[in-house]
Structure 1
């Protein structure tokens, strides 16, 4: 059966960084889902005095801070959730007293804006925090990204989460999102719920034909673990397709579906904290991958030392705790959720090579 591309069932509004407000027939205003945040999430006033004494900083950190203070601020582009941005901004400014200005964009918008600025040689962005590491590689090939070793903490970062150009600083595991009004399961051991006929027509997901490569590894890992027939069975479930992850999880919250894979734990948490009936499940005995968030620095940004300070902050314990209140820390930082035991890094190259196959198997 063909997947359903749902239109007209909900009123959907979207702002420039892809936040979605929805109104369903059953749950209009009760969930607190309406109202998009402003695009520019920066404080327009001074950051204020640092609350962390400089004596508590490492020597490399102190050296970077002295240089960053002369530059006055750091401008960061990100696709991260607002809750993450808020925690990161407060933590960075409290620690250093340097203004952090954050522009939230979805991955496609981020790539378009950064590319336009770079091609015009008018860099406004100092650093990027993005859930699509492949973009960093593309930018680096064009000479737009500086080496991540400019941030001192990179010297101790695990090699498997480090490239010449970026560091993976947060991992958002691919989860099974459920609407708790419609689903009573509280734990799963594997991903078999996705093939259970009782959920036919009740699974929401992202339309792979409308998104970038970063969405494909979630399905690639299921294919590697269970084979093509597993994906074909999912493809018979009359998947309800939406144009982005935020749209999908909002539809889950509104009751347009009972299950959502691959569900962002951070987006789901932001809704459940507002009272939405959304919960995420991770299997206890199955491979798990996730969206990996990379930090990288512009080669020609206007505030290069502040960019290094920001990238460095993302790799120290305090930054890891700010970034990973819901997502997992790649270094299991104290106070941050650890990586799932069966976590496997996404294979972007393989997923890119098999895009058409994955779309076909899932009948999208």
Structure 2
């Protein structure tokens, strides 16, 4: 009888323990498939001890220490530079049988034309493990965005609204209300007063040119007229283009990348960009440097998966937006469950609106753009 009471007492003690600390019951439950696989990957990543990320434009994300704080046993080593520096560097390293990069983060053109077409990437889709990353309802339009034709290799996590080709102007000499379409820039009043960044000489200037060339309402017919009739000045110096615009040597920059214009505007110079929804051809959606890829033959494959999942998590995307946004140049994750208060209303994505997405695979090839420019505006020798 005494032994029965002992058994009952022990059972009662366990019941009370679970009542007061339900986590004990949860801990006793077997882990689900994804949880077990994630823990196995994390343990293997911690044994690897390092992840090497080649990151263009957004190195400050790594420098913030947020990933290191989340995963202190995995040292993150970043290699920074422009996409046109990093992608060829990886290709050169691999020709020398040096496989150093685990993850690539950067703009789409170098990533697509060098790393993807060069068959240096593993599919990133199978590397997505966390439920909050896999849950496509957390992402804009209820889906993941990929920048490669197979929809497997290049994950696009950023989607910024911009005014198509980034048209910018001298605020004292041009009134936006007089120009409601890109075709209005063929007005003879602007002849000889337009400057353009020359994609053949400016690295990383592809996005606005993709918009002009591949947009169904613009394309080659528009470019031929603009650059053959309007005496457009081509330049490889973005700062010079903005300076010319600020002093009135030219009144319009098209196409023109936004960051130098925003910087000049914040310094009090009389320059600005057309509002995103102003021109009738509509707005573009672009990712700047917000694309992620998993290198094949990665030296730290498990740590690479951990970094990718962290980067695409709510925490990682919140860090990305906070660190990389500056006044007048907000960064917008394609995740919809991260804060958006920092994004001006006129720069926020709108549900149901059709955007020209320059990260679509069929707009990535900029070689036809350069060939057309060579025909219209030969480079000076």
Shorter-normalised TM-score: what interval? 0.5 to 0.7
**Displacement, 1:195?**
2.6
Structure-2 residue corresponding to 1:234 = 226
Aligned to 2:95: 119
Selected match of 1:311 from 308, 311, 314: 308
The Cα shift of 1:117 comes to 0.8
Question: In 1, are the aligned partners of 2:202 and 2:237 still within 8 Å (CA)?
Answer: yes
More deviation, 302-311/352-361 = 352-361
Q: Displacement, 1:256?
A: 6.0
**Following the alignment from structure 1 to structure 2, what is the Cα–Cα distance between the partners of residues 61 and 254?**
57
Deviations 1:272-325 (A, max 9, x none): 556565533323442333544421022123332232222223322233334343
Q: Paired residue for 1:328?
A: 332
Which of the pair is proportionally richer in helix? 2
Equivalents in 1 of 2:84, 2:273: separation in Å?
Answer: 26
- Find the counterpart in structure 1 of residue 273 from structure 2: 280
Measure the CA separation in 1 of the matches of 2:54 and 2:247. Answer: 30
Q: Find 2:198's aligned residue among 204, 207, 227.
A: 207
Shift of residue 219, structure 1, vs aligned partner = 1.8
Gaps of 5+ in 1: 1-57
Aligned-partner Cα distance in 2 for 1:276–1:309: 44
Change (3 A) 1:225 1:300: same
The partner residue of 1:152 within 106, 124, 129 is 129
CA contact (8 A) 1:71 1:306 kept: yes
1:300 to 293, 297, 301: 297
Between Structure 1 and Structure 2, how many residues are aligned?
A: 303
Name the residue aligned to 1:198: 189
For residues 272 and 333 of structure 1, do their structure 2 counterparts lie closer, same or farther at Cα, with a shift above 3 Å needed? farther
The CA deviation at 1:128 is 1.1
Which SS does the other structure have where 2:307 is aligned? helix
User: In the aligned structure 2, how far is the partner of 1:305 from the partner of 1:254?
Assistant: 53
Structure with bigger strand share is: 1
Structure-to-structure mapping, 1:1-364, within 5 angstroms: 59=35, 64-80=41-57, 84-87=58-61, 89-90=63-64, 91-97=66-72, 98-133=74-109, 135-136=111-112, 138-140=114-116, 142-149=118-125, 150-152=127-129, 155-157=134-136, 158-161=143-146, 163-172=151-160, 173=162, 174=164, 175-180=166-171, 183=174, 185=176, 189-192=180-183, 194-210=185-201, 214-215=206-207, 216-222=209-215, 224-226=216-218, 228-235=220-227, 236-243=229-236, 257-266=250-259, 268-269=261-262, 272-273=265-266, 278-281=271-274, 282-284=276-278, 285-292=280-287, 293-324=290-321, 325=325, 326-336=330-340, 337=343, 338-339=348-349, 341-346=353-358, 347-348=362-363, 352-353=367-368, 355-357=370-372, 359-360=374-375
Relative distance call for 1:318 and 1:161 in structure 2 (3 A) is same
Equivalent residues of 1:225, 1:287 under 8 A apart:
no
Q: Secondary structure at the match of 2:101?
A: coil
CA apart distance, 1:62: 6.2
Distance (Å, rounded) in 2 between the aligned partners of 1:107 and 1:230:
29
Q: After TM superposition, give the deviation of residue 112 of structure 1 in Å.
A: 1.6
Superposition RMSD on alpha carbons, in Å?
A: 3.8
Distance in 1 (CA, whole Å) between partners of 2:118 and 2:267 is 42
After TM superposition, give the deviation of residue 334 of structure 1 in Å.
3.0
For structure 2, which runs of at least 5 residues remain unmatched after alignment?
1-33, 137-142
* TM-score scaled by length of structure 2: 0.64
Secondary structure at the aligned position of 1:209 is classed as: coil
